[in-house]
A and B are shown apart, each in its own frame.
Chain A
Amino acid sequence: MLTNKQNRTRLLILTLLFLILLMASLGLGRYPIDPLTVIKVLWSQIVPMDATWTSQVETVLLQIRVPRVLMGALIGAGLSASGCAYQGIFQNPMASPDMLGASNGACLGAAIGLLIGLDYHLTTLTAFAGGLCALALVLLMNSKVQWNQMLCLILSGIMVGSLASAGISYIKLVADPTNTLPAITYWLMGSLASIRTRDLCFSAPVILLGILLLILFRWNINVMTVGDEEASTMGIPVKPLRTLVVLCATLITAACVSISGLIGWVGLVIPHIARLLVGSSFSRALPASLLLGASFLMLADNVSRLMATSEIPIGILTAFVGAPFCLFFILKKGGRM
């Protein structure tokens, strides 16, 4: 087992990895900017200094790169943190942030928005609302049962999720196949291409709030991983805490999906890699998941930007990486994740 010192070293390495990827992602693209200029331009926003770069560089960096990269990092961190928390409170290694229907709900919200012809920003709002509606429905159903609430929560989540995806299918069926249908399809694939500063202002606070709450309650969430009854006898308010975690994870997931579309697998796979690196305790796995998730999504986004002449939706990329990784994991550990 790892000592605390080894763990700190590993977290430090993950932080470095994150910072390096952050700088690299800001520089990389169809219009490359060297790291020094990146730092200079960013610094000039705080302390006024003489511009040794073209205004084009500044526009690309501040209007397009920064929001996109920061949002990518936040989405990666947020989805991984919610996945890690879900796997903890449901005592189930296969749990992921979309388990309770939040992302399907958000997708349905977006599909409705696109169907009735709303613009990009209003679609973000309908998507976010869709995610919250899905959660409200799940929690409403869950408040009606007395016994085995965890199972009920999961089942009602699956039910709401599949209701929402049935709704999406129906909307796709009736959508205008020349422009609305492709818009919905492309949106559902997940992409960071159209993210601008406005999205950052809307989603970042929500995602950060969710992450902050998960960080604050990390020890209680850690104790919940041993099971409801045991946690309860150790003084954990099991039910309120679970509702809080579900709420945080849903806020994060809905905010992520509403600006980027469906980016799957990150929330399922990243927490497992984090646990392999720093140990299973939630209070240690959470920071590692945050850093690793942010780094992974920035990397995936770089690949999606640079690999082909037209962008590959990042949702497809994460699935290409995530699914084989999961298979590898199952084969290696004999299904014991």
Chain B
Amino acid sequence: MSLCVEHLSFGFPASLVLDDISFEIAYGNLVCLLGCNGAGKSTLLRCILGLLPLKQGRVLVGKRDLSSLSRKERAKTMAYIPQGSKIHYSDRALDLVLMGTTSQLSPIACPGKTQMTVAQEAFSILGISHLAHRCYDHLSGGEQQLVLIARAIAQQAPILIMDEPCANLDYGNQSLLLAQIQELTKFNYLVLMSTHNPEHVLRYADEALILQNKTIYSLPSPREGLDAAFLERIYGIPMLVQTLGGIPSCVPLV
């Protein structure tokens, strides 16, 4: 199975934000979306999620056009992990994760025992069962991000779309979270995440998508394709890419 984007365009005719974007990514991969500020990474993710109306093109999962699916079927296909959820009424982390099970319920039902099990499994997959009964507001940024991922897992969708999951995390938590996300691909999840850090792409991604000038470049093996010249083109500053003890790292030369 794969997620396939065909000739996707978004924006006004005079000023397209995304122009004729096509790519295909397979389940069981961690795919990173790279691009400078304002390149349209979040917009692309939101187009794929069906939150923005496409001007042209379509998004296919397997053979099925996403726009032909009902909202619930779509929720069962892909889950969204926002950049730190704004929770207006703070409650237990478990209650938040239970929300992920909504697409498995009839419109007037409340989560029951089955959904509770699903939610608790989601916690244990990420190894954060101890957070379930804590108040979401009192958790650290990294823990909150993990809870949001648990919510997406409880949604039981094979595609996870993450908008800069590491944006508000400290250095250690970033690495821990990415290792955790990489682990998920072994359960055949397809993770599509946007990031600002090329090192994350070099180290963890199975594939990279680079969004530049309204269009997309696909790098099937980022360790080879994402070199200093490429990074310079994206960010407009001289870069050095080197390998230290087998781990690639980027150094901006300014």
> Are A and B a genuine interacting pair, yes or no?
yes
Interface set of A (CB-CB < 8 Å, partner B): 1, 3, 87-88, 91-93, 216-220, 222-223, 225-227, 229-230, 232-237, 275, 279-283, 285
Interface size class of B (residues with CB under 8 A): 35 or more
CB within 8 Å: A-B pair count: 89
Chain A residue nearest to B88 (CB atoms) is A91
Also in contact, A275 and B46, with CB within 8 A (given A218-B110, A229-B80, A229-B82)? no
Task: Please report which residues of chain B, range 82-107, place their CB below 8 angstroms from some CB of chain A when the two chains form the complex.
Answer: 82, 85-92, 95-96, 99-100, 102-103, 105, 107
Nearest CB on B from A187, distance (A): 35
Nearest CB on B from A229, distance (A): 5
Complex contact B102–A281 (CB within 8 A)? no
Complex contact A280–B91 (CB within 8 A)? yes
Chain A residue nearest to B86 (CB atoms) is A227
Task: Please report which residues of chain B, range 36-94, place their CB below 8 angstroms from some CB of chain A when the two chains form the complex.
Answer: 46, 49-51, 71-72, 74-76, 78-80, 82, 85-92
Also in contact, A279 and B92, with CB within 8 A (given A226-B85, A230-B80)? yes
Chain A residue nearest to B96 (CB atoms) is A226
When chains A and B are docked, how far (Å) is the Cα of A244 from the Cα of B108? 13
Chain A residue nearest to B80 (CB atoms) is A233
Complex contact B85–A233 (CB within 8 A)? no
Nearest CB on B from A32, distance (A): 42
B residues less than 8 Å from A282 (CB atoms): 89
A residues less than 8 Å from B135 (CB atoms): 1
Nearest CB on B from A120, distance (A): 37
Chain A residue nearest to B46 (CB atoms) is A229
Interface centre among B85, B91, B92 (most CB of A within 10 A): B91
B residues less than 8 Å from A93 (CB atoms): 88-89
When chains A and B are docked, how far (Å) is the Cα of A87 from the Cα of B89? 9
A residues less than 8 Å from B91 (CB atoms): 1, 279-281
Complex contact A281–B95 (CB within 8 A)? yes
Complex contact A219–B51 (CB within 8 A)? no
When chains A and B are docked, how far (Å) is the Cα of A285 from the Cα of B90? 12
Also in contact, A216 and B82, with CB within 8 A (given A234-B99, A234-B100, A235-B103)? no
Nearest CB on B from A236, distance (A): 6
Annotate B172-187 by CB proximity to A: 1 below 8 A, 0 otherwise. 0000000000000000
Nearest CB on B from A225, distance (A): 6
Q: Is B134 an interface residue (CB 8 A)?
A: yes
B residues less than 8 Å from A235 (CB atoms): 71-72, 74-76, 102-103
20 A-B residue contacts at CB 8 Å? A1-B133, A1-B134, A93-B88, A93-B89, A219-B109, A219-B111, A220-B107, A222-B99, A225-B89, A226-B85, A229-B80, A233-B49, A233-B50, A233-B75, A233-B79, A233-B80, A234-B99, A235-B71, A235-B76, A280-B90
Complex contact A223–B102 (CB within 8 A)? yes
Chain A residue nearest to B161 (CB atoms) is A233
Annotate B100-140 by CB proximity to A: 1 below 8 A, 0 otherwise. 10110101111100000000000000000000011100000
Chain A residue nearest to B134 (CB atoms) is A1
When chains A and B are docked, how far (Å) is the Cα of A234 from the Cα of B98? 11
Q: Is B195 an interface residue (CB 8 A)?
A: no
Residue from A216, A227, A279 within 8 A of B85 (CB atoms):
A227
When chains A and B are docked, how far (Å) is the Cα of A91 from the Cα of B92? 17
Q: Is B145 an interface residue (CB 8 A)?
A: no
Complex contact B80–A217 (CB within 8 A)? no
Complex contact A236–B71 (CB within 8 A)? yes
B residues less than 8 Å from A220 (CB atoms): 102, 107-108
Complex contact B99–A226 (CB within 8 A)? yes
A residues less than 8 Å from B79 (CB atoms): 233-234
Nearest CB on B from A221, distance (A): 11
B residues less than 8 Å from A88 (CB atoms): 89
A residues less than 8 Å from B99 (CB atoms): 222-223, 226, 234
Chain B residue nearest to A280 (CB atoms) is B89
A residues less than 8 Å from B74 (CB atoms): 233, 235
When chains A and B are docked, how far (Å) is the Cα of A234 from the Cα of B88? 17
B residues less than 8 Å from A87 (CB atoms): 89
Q: Is B9 an interface residue (CB 8 A)?
A: no
Chain B residue nearest to A282 (CB atoms) is B89
When chains A and B are docked, how far (Å) is the Cα of A31 from the Cα of B89? 45
Chain B residue nearest to A275 (CB atoms) is B89
Nearest CB on A from B131, distance (A): 11
Complex contact A234–B107 (CB within 8 A)? no
